[in-house]
């Protein structure tokens, strides 16, 4: 288990049995058919939204009205309904998660989300672990399915090359939500525009030519990247370096390249130059206004179809001359049931919640599936649930 799961938890309670009740908070762009799948898995599902009426409308839109109960969300209202062993799924913005997790710990409930683990969430993990509660995080598309792909590739490469064999490697993991039919803007907002812009304002750290590198403006590190014969543009995001350890790469292997980043359509860099100029000079107020302007200028309609592309590749070159390379590719287009983004995020998260319900996830912190065997299990379940991908292995 991850060391953060056990910190400060010398006496650990038994895993709290799941009650069968799931509280799903929020019904935004990433809530899709996974919620419907949970209605088949859980004994009882409650959808919490801004108002009870909005929750009911969301259930009707997902065609599951009558199968889940609508609720008006406040943290106090949620806490009042929690029972030991309930599972709380937060689809709210990441800054909300720590407060919700704290309420879960007080009420002896499990917690799940698709977001990266924040320092604020980590503060509550030792208490949750000690109480026998599952904290499932990074269980969506990116992060989420990308982790499953990486664990699978690393396990195959380790088996082929050997942990103790000196080698160098390159691992790239690029993911993007793009328009299924390219537009002039070369983009379709599949999550909040303000989040998209602020992510571009955050420095990115990665390994390039064996050296840790930081891009203060990630888009300035954009490169062309060919996936299955199609050219895209990719750039690093967040901090890739800690994932070397998370993915279990052997100490005897040296990284040539290690980057987790974002994928965009070819031509995105040029189309977004006016946006980048604003990001270079604008303050928080201006960027917030720009997000609203872009949302109004490039609205998403009911007839639009999004496309999700996730490409994870690993190439290993041993000093004894042996080589191994492989890659996973997920390339999905949305349909009338739900968008590709909502399908990937919500079905992965629902799958993880299912494993909380059946008691197969350990107490404490879980970043999606953290072992190769469990990743293979999740990938098989995702494929059977309609999230399809391909695996390529070259030796």
Catalytic residues: 142
Name the strand (E) or helix (H) holding 125: helix 125-130
For 244-322, where are the E strands, in sequence order? 253-265, 306-318
In this structure, the chain runs to a length of 395
Q: What is the spatial distance between Cα 277 and Cα 194, in angstroms, rounded to a whole number?
A: 16
CA distance 75 to 372: 36
What is the C-alpha to C-alpha distance for residues 294 and 346, in angstroms, rounded to an integer?
A: 26
Pairing of strands 110-113, 87-90: parallel
Contacts made by residues 50-58, CB under 8 angstroms, sequence distance 24+: 54/27, 55/27, 58/27, 58/31
What single-letter DSSP state applies at residue 298?
A: S
Cα–Cα nearest to 101, from 85, 114, 89, 84: 89
172 membership: H or E segment, kind and range: strand 167-179
């Amino acid at each position: 288990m991850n060391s953060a799961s056990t910190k400060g938890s010398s006496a650990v309670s038994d895993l709290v049995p799941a009650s069968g009740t799931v509280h799903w908070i929020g019904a935004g762009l990433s809530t899709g058919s996974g919620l419907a799948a949970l209605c088949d898995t859980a004994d009882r599902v409650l959808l919490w939204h801004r108002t009870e009426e909005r929750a009911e409308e969301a259930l009707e839109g997902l065609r599951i009205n009558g199968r889940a109960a609508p609720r008006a969300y406040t943290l106090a209202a949620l806490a009042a309904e929690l029972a030991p062993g309930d599972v709380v799924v937060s689809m709210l913005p990441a800054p909300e998660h720590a407060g919700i997790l704290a309420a879960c710990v007080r009420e002896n409930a499990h917690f799940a989300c698709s977001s990266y683990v924040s320092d604020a969430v980590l503060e509550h993990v030792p208490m949750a672990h000690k109480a026998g509660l599952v904290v499932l995080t990074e269980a969506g598309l990116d992060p989420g399915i990308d982790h499953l792909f990486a664990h699978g590739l690393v396990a195959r490469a380790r088996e082929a090359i050997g942990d103790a064999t000196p080698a160098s490697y390159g691992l790239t993991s690029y993911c993007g939500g793009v328009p299924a039919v390219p537009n002039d803007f070369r983009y379709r907002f599949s999550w909040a525009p303000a989040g998209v812009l602020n992510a571009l304002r955050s420095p990115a750290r990665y390994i390039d030519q064996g050296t840790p590198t930081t891009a203060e403006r990630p888009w300035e590190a954009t490169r062309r990247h060919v996936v299955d014969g199609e050219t895209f543009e990719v750039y690093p995001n967040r901090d890739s370096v800690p994932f070397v350890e998370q993915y279990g790469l052997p100490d005897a292997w040296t990284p040539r390249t290690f980057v987790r980043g974002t994928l965009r359509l070819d031509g995105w860099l040029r189309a977004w130059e006016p946006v980048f100029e604003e990001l270079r000079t604008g303050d928080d107020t201006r960027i917030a206004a720009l997000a609203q302007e872009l949302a109004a200028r490039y609205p998403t309609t009911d007839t639009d179809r999004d496309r999700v592309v996730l490409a994870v590749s690993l190439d290993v070159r041993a000093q004894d001359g042996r080589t191994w390379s492989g890659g996973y590719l997920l390339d999905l287009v949305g349909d009338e049931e739900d968008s590709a983004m909502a399908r990937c995020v919500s079905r992965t998260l629902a799958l993880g919640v299912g494993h909380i319900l059946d008691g197969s996830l350990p107490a404490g912190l879980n970043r999606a599936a953290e072992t190769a065997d469990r990743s293979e299990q999740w990938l098989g379940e995702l494929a059977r649930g309609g999230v399809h991908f391909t695996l390529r292995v070259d030796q």
